[in-house]
């Protein structure tokens, strides 16, 4: 009874050119299909290819081969105007917040709405509501440089959610946040799924947080998908790199570089 996937990656290969003319594989034959209205967590060690995977889903980079289907449409060959129409349905929380330093918090959050020429009063109300939900009430007129790292992260989250996207891609939404704020973010992601029916892809290192929110867990390791399933199934898998990651051991097959 599964529905059509809203995001699908088919046999994705992505590599980068090295100075000596060789290429290095970053993603090596990665396939996945994401069901609407679910929370999908992607974990993996640093450098395993998680951010690259999200960038492919957002059409910010193109794969060398393979298909990226969003709402059933392969975006790998689309031109910018078409791609932008699809991106309008997506929110992206970047790993390093990526706020506009010259704009206020309120202008950052309302940026996309402003470009859609939505009425000022409506934008102000959406911004104020999101700030309230994220524990940032009254910070509309601050500049990003006046905020702590964790506050910037939450502003980035508010910006991604402001235009009511169908798909939200989160790159480490809880990095730099304390445990209480991590919990607040987890609950917000759950609330977005349950109330707004968003489809969520969450890149995270935080095993506790993943197990609280995920409908499905995937693990990338050196550019390959080494685990994929419901949390209860994945926690039982006998994959050595997965075991080492879940148990947080320094000894094991994962190379520490
Ligand atoms: N534009 C690029 N130029 C050169 N190398 C790149 C580029 N993009 C990614 N890489 C390399 O690809 C690999 C995967 O990078 P990626 O950012 O996807 O990892 P990640 O899993 O998100 O890591 P982290 O947890 O540290 O954020 C890394 O080895 C990185 O150095
Ligand atoms: Mg990353």
**Residue of minimum CA distance from atom 17 in ligand 1:** 51
- Joined tokens for residue 104: 């206020």
Q: How far apart are CA 31 and CA 163, in angstroms?
A: 29
Provide the pLDDT for residue 104: 95
Instruction: Tell me which of 14, 24, 26 to substitute to probe ligand 1's pocket, judged by most ligand atoms within 8 Å of the beta carbon.
Output: 26
Residue 1 scores a pLDDT above 60: no
Report the pLDDT value the prediction gives residue 255, as an integer from 0 to 100.
78
pLDDT of residue 257: 66
Give 37-47 pLDDT, tens digit per residue. Answer: 999 999 999 99
Residue 177 CB burial class (10 angstroms; 0-12, 13-18, ≥19): buried
Distances (CA, A) of 134 to 80, 127, 151, 254: 32, 11, 9, 36
Nearest to 44 by CA among 240, 230, 226: 226
Q: What is the pLDDT of residue 3?
A: 75
Instruction: Tell me the pLDDT tens digit for each residue of 188-226.
Output: 899 989 998 999 999 998 999 999 999 999 999 999 999
CA of 195 to the centre of ligand 1 (A): 33
Helix (H, G, I), strand (E, B) or coil at 198: coil
Distance of CA 8 to the CA centre of its chain: 15
Percentage of the chain surpassing pLDDT 70?
99
Model confidence at 2, in pLDDT bands (50, 70, 90)? Answer: low
Average pLDDT score over residue span 49-67: 95
What is the number of the ligand 1 atom nearest to the C-alpha of 55?
A: 18
Q: What is the mean pLDDT of the chain?
A: 92
Model pLDDT for residues 242-257, shown as the tens digit of each residue = 999 999 888 888 877 6
Cα 241 to ligand 2 centre (Å)? 18
Instruction: Determine what percent of the chain is predicted with pLDDT higher than 90.
Output: 73
Q: Which ligand is nearest to the CA of 50?
A: 1
Average pLDDT value for residue range 162-177: 90
| Other residues' Cβ atoms within 10 Å of the Cβ of residue 60 | 13
- Closest ligand 1 atom to residue 61 Cα is 1
- In testing the pocket of ligand 1, which one of 20, 30, 51, 93 has its CB within 8 Å of the most ligand atoms? 51
Closest residue CA from atom 24 of ligand 1: 46
Q: How far is the CA of 98 from the centre of ligand 2 (A)?
A: 13
Ligand 1: distance of its center to the CA of 51 in Å? 7
Give the pLDDT score at 26.
96
> How many angstroms separate the alpha carbon of residue 203 from the centre of ligand 2?
8
Quick one: pLDDT at residue 125? Answer: 94
Strands 216-221 and 39-43: parallel
pLDDT at 134: 86
Per-residue pLDDT averaged across 152-164, rounded?
90
Render pLDDT for 86-120 as a digit per residue (tens, 0 to 9): 999 999 988 777 899 999 999 999 998 988 899 99
């Amino acid at each position: 009874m599964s529905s059509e996937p809203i995001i699908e990656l088919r046999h994705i290969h992505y590599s980068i050119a090295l100075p000596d003319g060789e290429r290095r594989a970053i993603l090596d034959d990665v396939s996945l299909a994401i069901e609407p209205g679910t929370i999908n967590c992607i974990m993996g060690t640093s450098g395993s290819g998680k951010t690259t995977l999200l960038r492919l889903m957002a059409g910010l980079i193109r794969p060398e081969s393979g298909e990226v289907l969003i709402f059933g449409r392969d975006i790998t060959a689309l031109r910018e105007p078409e791609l932008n129409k699809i991106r309008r349905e997506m929110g992206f929380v970047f790993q390093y917040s990526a706020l506009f330093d010259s704009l206020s918090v309120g202008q950052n959050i309302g940026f996309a709405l402003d470009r859609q020429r939505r009425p000022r009063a409506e934008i102000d109300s959406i911004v104020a509501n999101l700030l309230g939900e994220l524990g940032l009430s009254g910070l509309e007129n601050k500049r990003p440089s006046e905020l702590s790292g964790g506050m910037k992260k939450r502003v980035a989250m508010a910006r991604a959610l402001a235009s009511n996207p169908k798909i939200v891609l989160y790159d480490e939404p809880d990095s730099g946040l304390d445990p209480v704020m991590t919990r607040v973010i987890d609950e917000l992601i759950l609330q977005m799924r349950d109330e707004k029916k968003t489809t969520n892809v969450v890149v995270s290192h935080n095993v506790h947080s993943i197990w609280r929110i995920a409908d499905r867990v995937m693990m990338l390791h050196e550019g390959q998908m080494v685990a994929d399933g419901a949390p209860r199934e994945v926690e039982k898998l006998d994959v050595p790199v997965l075991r080492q990651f879940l148990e947080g051991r320094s000894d094991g097959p994962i190379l520490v570089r």
